[in-house]
Amino acid sequence: MLALARPAAAHLMPAGQGAVRLVGDSAYVVVAVPVAALTGFDDNRDGRIDVAEVNRHRTALNSQVSRLLQWRDGEGAEGRLLFEDLLISHADLPGFQGADHVVVVRRYQWGRPVRSLAVKAGVKVALRCIRDAQTEATTFTRAGAEHTFFAQRPAP
């Protein structure tokens, strides 16, 4: 029985979902961007993305992601991008034919603690933002929706 066991088919993260964790002066971002939202990478025209395509088009893909997902602190300042990577689920499994999304991993940093985070998204994605023991979630549409997580609300 163990010889017949196969690796689990779970995705690293489902397409169109993401999470952001605010810690001190940084935002740690993980978002699964559907390949349908990206252009100029599909060399074999199969509608999917593979490791070779990511590696050939990494710079252009990261630029597209930066235009699709914009991050500012509650005061409107852009964070400094300290780290970025693009990952694909199951690329190491036999028979892998490419993925329908690419997982974007980034770290942004500001010069002060981030208490709220303004996001502008040009891609349909559900995001969950975590700060300390608080969690807030919203779904963005392709229409360039904007949302500020943990916005200061005026007292009643």
Q: How confident is the model at residue 90 (pLDDT cuts 50, 70, 90)?
A: confident
Rounded Cα gap, residues 5 and 114, in angstroms? 45
**6, 47, 58, 87, 105 from 84: Cα distances, Å:** 31, 24, 10, 10, 6
Rounded Cα gap, residues 22 and 26, in angstroms? 6
pLDDT at 6 over 90: no
pLDDT at 83 over 50: yes
Q: Which residue type, as a one-letter code, is found at position 83?
A: F
For the segment 70-85, the average pLDDT, to the nearest whole number, is 95
Q: How confident is the model at residue 60 (pLDDT cuts 50, 70, 90)?
A: very high
Q: pTM for this structure?
A: 0.86
User: Which tokens in the block code for residue 70?
Assistant: 């914009």
Centre a 10 Å sphere on the Cβ of residue 109 and count the other Cβ atoms it contains.
14
| pLDDT per position as a tens digit, 103-124 | 999 999 999 999 999 999 999 9
For the segment 56-63, the average pLDDT, to the nearest whole number, is 96
Of the given ranges (22-36, 70-84, 140-154), which has the lowest mean pLDDT? 140-154
Rounded Cα gap, residues 49 and 101, in angstroms? 7
> For position 152, what pLDDT does the model report?
74
pLDDT at 2 over 90: no
Rounded Cα gap, residues 150 and 117, in angstroms? 7
Q: How confident is the model at residue 156 (pLDDT cuts 50, 70, 90)?
A: low
For the segment 71-93, the average pLDDT, to the nearest whole number, is 89
